Structure formats: C-alpha cells, structure tokens
Structure 1
Amino acid sequence: MSAKIIDGKAIAENLRNTIAAEVADIAARTGAQPGLAVVLVGNDPASEVYVGSKARQTVAVGMRSFEHRLPADVPEAELLALVARLNADDAVDGILVQLPLPAHINTDRVIEAIDPAKDVDGFHPVNAGRLLIGLPTLVACTPLGSLLLLQSVHQDFSGLSAVVVGRSNIVGKPVAQLLLQHNATVTIAHSRTRDLPAVVRAADIVVAAVGRPELVRGEWIKSGATVIDVGINRLPQEPGAAKGRLVGDVAFDEAVKVAGAITPVPGGVGPMTIACLLRNTLQAFRARRFGE
C-alpha cells in the first residue's frame, strides 16, 4: 500500500484561481481592489524570500500589494506607529507583520496593535478568541490551509479521531479548534504526552506541527490514516550536497507506506499558507467594504 500524495501546490493554485476570479468580478462591478500590506523588519534571508513570494502572488490575483521594509534596529514605537497608519489607511484591507521580529520588539504588543478586522494572519487575541468560541473570524493561514488539505480527502470529519502533535498558538491550537468545529474528536499531544506513539497510532487524522525533523515515525501511523505534515526542517548538509535536505515532522518515506493520504514536504502545507493569506485578505475586504 502506498498513500495518496496530497498535492498542496495544485490545491493552492485552484484556490488562487478562485480568488483571482472573484477579485476580477468585484473590480469590474465596483472598481475596488483588496489591498494587502506586509511589514518586514530586518533582512532575514528566509523572510525576504517569503515576503517577496507574498507580494508576487498578491499582485497575480489582482490585489494591491503594499510592502514596508524597516531596519532591524527600528524602535518598537516606530513599528507601532506604522501599524497605526496602516490601520487607518482605507486602501489597506489586510496587515501582516512578518515574524519573527527582533528581540528588542515585543511581538505580542505588535500583534495586538493590528486592527482585528485587518489581521489576515489570524493571530490577534480577538480573532483567536472568536475561533475558540466558534464565531466567524480570520483564521491563521497555516491551520486553515491544513484544514482545506484535509477536506480534499474527507468530506465529513464526524466520528474521526484526530491527533494534533504540537500546541503552539500559531498552528497546534487553532488547527485543533478547526477540527473540533468540523466534529472530529481531537487530542492535542505535546512534549509531555505519555507514550506519544500509542496516542498517534489511534488517530484517523494526524497533524504534525512540532518543529522536530521526522519525529513521527511510520510505525506510529494507523493504517489508512490521513497525515498532514506542517513541519519544515533543514537537515545538516551532507558531503557533496549544496545544502541540507528539507524534511517535515513526519518520516515521509516510512509513513507513505502506511498512511491512506499524506502531504509531502515541500509541496504540501507550505503553498497553502500564502493562498490562505490571500483568501483572508479577500474575506477582510468583503467584510470591511460590503459588510459580509
């Protein structure tokens, strides 16, 4: 048995095409365009690449892209002042401050300064709270993308047992809330969980989001289970290789022989994150402009 490979690139492309068609329709009818502002502090190479990709995809679906780059030593007050200006800018429907921020800046303070209606990252306590109690909200992009990938396999989660490995505020907790809302029976596992292999082995759905390369082994996976691997880790460089190999939190070569469906790394959850950012920006735009 070999698992179905869940193609995150193809699903993300379909989502972007749907968004682009809706944006074009709105522009034709009203002349309005959603606008996404991205703030990058410093010049972290990975963040530079990610921000550039966001900008390209934003423009590609017909949205306006506003990019703000600040030096790594920018005072926190200056960053907060920029966020306040973006909150007040009617051309901006979504605001994303690229994380991580330099150590001298209080990340929580910056996230809480963003208008919840423009918080397309879904990290603001208001949006996290609305998700917790089941109200419509802007949902963090990676958990939302993970859910959409699962929905490409399962039309109904009722009666399914799901284990989320990882309890971060960015992925683990929100993806567990989404699964609960869709009637799965959810367990959150973490570093203090006793007999983690046995907990994972009981699950019909496994979402691995712990940030440890290949932690979840193939022998932990229930036969036929659906596995969403959120992790992306670069292994040490091997002799003769240009750079270290990218792997997820799941030992893919082992798990693919047991699972019913599984996401690859790369090419699984990653492409969905930016696509869901664009979806959130369109959602924020429609809520702000049309009260939807």
Structure 2
Amino acid sequence: MILLDGKATAATIRAEIKEEVTSLAARFGRRPGLAVVLVGNDPASQVYVRNKERACEDCGIVSMPHRLENASQLELEGLIQQLNRDVNVDGILVQLPLPKGLDSQRILDLIDPNKDVDGFHPVNVGKLSLGLPGFRPCTPAGVITLLKRYNLDPACKKAVVIGRSNIVGKPLAMMLSQSGPCANATVTLCHSRTADLKAECREADFVFAAIGVPGFVTADMVKEGAVVVDVGINRTDEGLAGDCDFEGLKDKVHAMTPVPGGVGPMTIAQLMVNTLEAYKLHVGA
C-alpha cells in the first residue's frame, strides 16, 4: 500500500511557498498577509488557528490574528469590512463554527471574494460550479493536490464521495468531475439517504470519506486496489480517528491517507497556497 503522506507533502509545499514569497517580497516590498478571525474560546478552533499561524510563519506569510472573546454580529461585520479595506490584508479567514447567535453565512458573504482564501463566498462557489478560476475550498483542493503529488489520476475512473457538506463533499465532487488535471472522474456523491452505500463504494476506484463517523468505511465496502482518501478527523477515547478503518483497509487498498497526517496538513498547506495567490492578484504579480 502507498501511504499518502500529507504531512511530508505539505512540508514540501510550504518550502516552495516560502521561496516564492521571499522572491516576491523583495520585488513588491511586502509579504502576503493573512487575517485570521477567531471568535469565542472553542478549544478545537484555537488549535486550528495556532496551526495556521505556524504555517504562515513557515511560509514567510504575515499572520494577522484577530481573537475576539465576545463579538456581536455588527461588531464582527465591522471587522470584516475593515479587513476588506486593508491593503496589507490579502486573505481573510473566519474560523468556523462561530458561536451560537452569530450568522456565519452573513459573515462569509461580506468577505471580499478576492480575499476569500477559504473559498466559501458564493462568488467563488459559483466559479467552482462553472469551472472558472477562483479560490477553491482548502480541504478538497488539498485532496486534489495530494493525488497530483502521488500521480494518482482519477481520470476515466469511478469515484465515490461520501458526504455532501458545502465545505468538503460537494466541492470535491465538482472538482473531481470537471475537466483538467487530476479530474475527469465519473463521480457519485453519496450521503445518509443513499439507498445502497456499500454497493456504490464497492464499484469505486477512488473513495473519499468525509462524514465525521469514526471507522465508517470498512474493508467490505471497498474493492481490491482502490484508492481511499480519509477526510474525517474524529476525537475518540482512543485518540484521533478517521472515517475509515485504516487497519482493516491497509492490506486491501492501493493507496490511502492516514489520520492524522493525511488530509489535515494538506488543508492548511492549501490555505497558504490560496493566500499566496490572493497576494499575487493584489500586487499584480
């Protein structure tokens, strides 16, 4: 089995970004800037934000944290508008989920689409659906990049995506089915109402699990030699676990991502890629 090492791949990508950032900063007089907005004190969100800040440091990107213990809807909207106007801010990321009582979609809709490095703004979602250039959500884009780096091309193959979230499942299905590098797959998007999920998965050459249920995908659900990408990361009594039964699958599949160390690092690496692209768009590089 090929272990799809997202941690090592992400480190390579960060090194590539750092080299490009150094060159561009010497040319344009400033480094890329990423504003990360964290509201409340959710422990998991705090960990994610710290990881993103460390990645910025590795890449030479200026991290601009905005930690708010409490914020009203109007205060948060005002901050987003301020960041939209700030010429030193290239990317804006609002860490989700927001605390209860705040309207996440209204906040995401306010972000300048050219600074929407999470790829969640309706303009960028529309561009993705039409196959136009724009920012792609970081997790599915990171998955595609990981496949590219390991020369695993889903073209002309059957792919099953389990999970229909707006953050992972839907955009990943669109990206896999479009024309272009590491795409052109025949995609089935499965979910909780899929009639025979096991039968769908057993026909797939590529299986992507993004449902948030530990160990959901088992060996009897995939065919011999399939590529399995586990997007899930679940906190259990035994520690972090993916949506796939790694031990049960490892001797049956051709390639698979571990959890942790698979898709997670690629998500953050893609955020750095998107921030660099936003910077290049703003400075005219």
**Is 1:180 equivalent to 2:177 in the alignment?**
yes
- Please show how residues 49-68 of structure 1 align to structure 2 within 5 Å: 49-68=47-66
- Please show how residues 103-118 of structure 1 align to structure 2 within 5 Å: 103-118=100-115
Match of 2:242 among 248, 255, 270: 248
Please state how far the C-alpha of 1:246 moved relative to its aligned partner.
1.2
Q: Which runs of 4+ in 1 moved over 3 A?
A: 153-156
- Structure 2 match to 1:280: 274
Structure 1 letter corresponding to 2:256:
I
- Structure 2 match to 1:41: 39
- Structure 2 match to 1:93: 90
Please state how far the C-alpha of 1:288 moved relative to its aligned partner.
1.6
1:65-117 deviation line (CA, Å, top 9, x unaligned):
10101123x11100000000000000000000000001100010000010110
Matched-pair contact (CA < 8 Å) for 2:213–2:232: yes
Matched-pair contact (CA < 8 Å) for 1:248–1:265: yes
Distance of 1:111 and 1:224 partners within structure 2: 40
**Percent identical across equivalent pairs?**
53
- Please show how residues 137-286 of structure 1 align to structure 2 within 5 Å: 137-154=134-151, 156-181=153-178, 182-235=183-236, 237=237, 244-286=238-280
**Is 1:122 equivalent to 2:119 in the alignment?**
yes
Return 158-167 or 49-58, whichever deviates more.
Answer: 49-58
- Structure 2 match to 1:102: 99
Structure 2 letter corresponding to 1:141:
C
Please state how far the C-alpha of 1:53 moved relative to its aligned partner.
1.6
Matched-pair contact (CA < 8 Å) for 2:124–2:135: yes
Structure 2 letter corresponding to 1:81:
G
- Structure 1 match to 2:24: 26
- Structure 2 match to 1:8: 6
Please state how far the C-alpha of 1:153 moved relative to its aligned partner.
3.3
Q: How much is the aligned-residue C-alpha RMSD, in angstroms?
A: 1.1
Return 58-67 or 113-122, whichever deviates more.
Answer: 58-67
The count of residues paired between Structure 1 and Structure 2 equals 281
SS in 2 for 1:159: coil
- Structure 1 match to 2:76: 79
SS in 2 for 1:18: helix
1:235-262 deviation line (CA, Å, top 9, x unaligned):
2x2xxxxxx3211111111111111000
Please state how far the C-alpha of 1:17 moved relative to its aligned partner.
0.7
Matched-pair contact (CA < 8 Å) for 1:219–1:254: no
Distance of 2:147 and 2:58 partners within structure 1: 26
Matched-pair contact (CA < 8 Å) for 1:12–1:275: yes
Please state how far the C-alpha of 1:155 moved relative to its aligned partner.
5.1
Please state how far the C-alpha of 1:230 moved relative to its aligned partner.
0.2
SS in 2 for 1:231: coil
TM (normalized to structure 2)?
0.96
**Distance change in 2, residues 1:152/1:224 (3 Å):** farther
Please state how far the C-alpha of 1:31 moved relative to its aligned partner.
1.8
Task: Extract unaligned runs of 5+ from structure 1.
Answer: 238-243
1:256-288 deviation line (CA, Å, top 9, x unaligned):
111100000000000111110000000111112
Task: Extract unaligned runs of 5+ from structure 2.
Answer: none
Distance of 1:220 and 1:157 partners within structure 2: 19
SS in 2 for 1:271: helix
Distance of 1:286 and 1:120 partners within structure 2: 13
